[in-house]
Structure 1
Amino acid sequence: MKTIYTFFLVVLCSTLTINAQKVVAVHSPTNGVQYFSDSAAFQEAYDASIAGDTIYLPGGTHTPPSVFDKQLTIFGAGHHPDATTATFETKISGQITLGENADGIHLEGLYITSNLVVGNTNDVSVNDIVVKRCRFGNIYSSGITETNTSNNNLFVENIINSIYDGNNLRSSSFFNNIIVSGNRNTSLTDLYFSNNVFLYEDINGTIYGGFTFYNCVLQNNIFVNQGPALSYGADSTFENNIFCHSAPSLGTDPTLVNNYNLTRAEVLVDQTGGAFDYAHDYHLQAGAATNLGTDGTETGIYGGVYPWKDYSIPTNPHISSKTISGASDSSGNIQVDINVHAQGN
């Protein structure tokens, strides 16, 4: 832990001069620690990395490589505005595309301004990835034949605008995410959804909230869409979910076990509309909290195996505050006070 703390202090202190660039670091079991501070620091760090390395991105905006084609761990400083006042959010300008050699990549604490592409239209398979406490646009995992699928991928505590094209995403799990909407024309097949909050997208009065689930298992989720059409697929299992409709349409031949039907006003503490908002409160109201999930914890993002961490702080040590004097003393020293907190999860 001491080494990690020292790294963060070095990165911060190296950026104190007025015109210094943001520092991106690569920690490598093989090549040691390398630092990059040019305008293309993220690209340079990626080029210098090898499979198994860890890249640390500071707050600020970074341009990503066109394709990530290595097994890397990439940490940012987080995306929640209230938790990144000292560092700024780590923003990825553009989309992240995972190539066929990106199996096992881990992304955490990033705000990806565009999409997350898992594979591509050439039927590239990407497996065993972890995406945790990130915010991004749409998930794309399309394919031509839907035979070379991407499997065993894990999405935990993310803010996801849409699963827009997930035809090639299979045998993967979504735990404790806030998912705004789906594309009902996209088949989501053999996926597991637990303790998510599903919102909906309202574009000029048109509601986009429906998903097409085929042979999926959905447990302990909350669907705030008050419209009846939630699923257009078939053969999925819905268990211990909260629906904000008395009789939602769940596709052909669904298996229904112990679901709850409440009005929207009875479910979340403070949430309105169909869009995600940091100012909203996604905790359950006292009455709704008595409607438990399959594991005996509450439904929604604060229950289950991966309870939502407020402020979405990533698991690497977090700089919560810093104070830097505006002038040096007679010896040329600058007073720097930094608070760094280890994260338990």
Structure 2
Amino acid sequence: MFGAGHYPDSTQATGRTALTGNIYFKTGASNSVLQGIYLSSNIFMGDSCSTGNVSNILISRCNVDNICLTYNTGSTNCGAENIFIKDCIIRTDIRGANAQGTVVETSIITNQIAYFNGNAEFRNNIFLRYNNSTNSYSYVFYNIYNCNFSNNILQHE
């Protein structure tokens, strides 16, 4: 699915492509592309664990609320792999659900990344975190193990 974009300077003639509601990549959606979309809600890999076995998904130049590499906001891995997130604005979280082969590149994440365990790369991103609550979800990185981070900027206030 290709949209016109979400930045005002690049969508002045056409208006931004905006969608409401969640987007679910389900079984059969492998090798899909989502590009140039403003999404008011979330992206999920499946709507149940049995439909979340997708791979080779590209999410590029999108502005989304939350990206969950499983069917919910938890940590259950349902088989999603090789998810590539590039040039995006994520207004809240990226929940990895221990998906394998994930790459997040040149994106802005304004809240948290959580539940990545191995084989994930984070390159040239900006991580912003403004909530100083005392619960475990106040951390920028939560339950992150064996992942590669390179050339990222972190701001935590």
Q: How does 1:46-125 map to 2 (within 5 A)?
A: 74-123=1-50, 124-125=52-53
Higher deviation after alignment, 98-107 or 137-146 = 137-146
Partners of 1:181 and 1:211 within 8 A in 2: no
Query: Which residue number in structure 1 is paired with residue 68 of structure 2?
Result: 140
Distance 2:40 2:12 in 1: 19
Task: Give the Å deviation of 1:199.
Answer: 0.5
Alignment partner, residue 215 of structure 1: 146
2:48 equivalent to 1:128: no
Shift of 1:125: 1.1
Residues 70 and 78 in structure 2, CA contact (< 8 A), matched pair in contact too:
no
Distance change in 2, residues 1:172/1:145 (3 Å): closer
| RMSD over equivalenced CA pairs, Å | 2.2
Deviation at 1:187, TM superposition (A): 1.7
Q: Which runs of 5+ in 2 are unaligned?
A: none
- Whether 1:153 and 2:80 are equivalent positions in the alignment is no
- Which residue pairs with 1:254 in the alignment? none
- Relative to structure 1, is the Cα distance of residues 132 and 93 closer, same or farther in structure 2, using a 3 angstrom cutoff? same
Gaps of 5+ in 1: 1-73, 227-345
2:130 to 188, 193, 201: 201
| SS of residue matched to 2:27 | coil
Q: How many angstroms apart in 2 are the aligned matches of 1:197 and 1:145?
A: 23
Cα distance in 2 for partners of 1:201, 1:141 equals 23
Query: What code does the residue aligned with 2:28 have?
Result: N
Q: 1:174 to 1:165 in 2, by over 3 A?
A: closer
Is 1:181 paired with 2:108? no
Could you tell me how far 1:176 is from its partner in structure 2? 0.4
**Structure 1 runs, 4 residues or longer, greater than 6 Å off:** none
Deviation at 1:167, TM superposition (A): 1.1
Where 1:128 maps in the other structure, the secondary structure is: strand
Query: Residue 170 of structure 1 aligns to a residue in which SS?
Result: coil
Note closer, same or farther for the CA distance 1:96–1:219 as it changes in structure 2 (3 Å cut).
same
Amino acid at match of 2:109: I
Q: Is the 8 A contact 2:127 2:140 kept in 1?
A: no
Quick one: structure 1 residues 103 and 111, their matched pair in 2 at CA, closer, same or farther if it must change by over 3 Å? same
Q: Deviations over 1:122-142 (max 9, x none)?
A: 242110011110000111123
Distance 2:121 2:94 in 1: 17
Q: How many angstroms does 1:83 deviate by?
A: 2.0
Normalised to the residue count of structure 2, the TM-score between the two structures is 0.84
Which has the higher relative contact order, 1 or 2, with Cα contacts under 8 A spaced 6 or more apart?
2
Task: Decide which structure has greater helix share.
Answer: 1
Q: Which residue of 2 aligns with 1:336?
A: none
Identity of counterpart residues, as a percentage? 30
Distance 1:99 1:108, change over 3 A: same
Tell me the CA shift for residue 145 of structure 1.
8.8
Aligned residues: 149
Q: CA deviation at 1:174?
A: 0.5
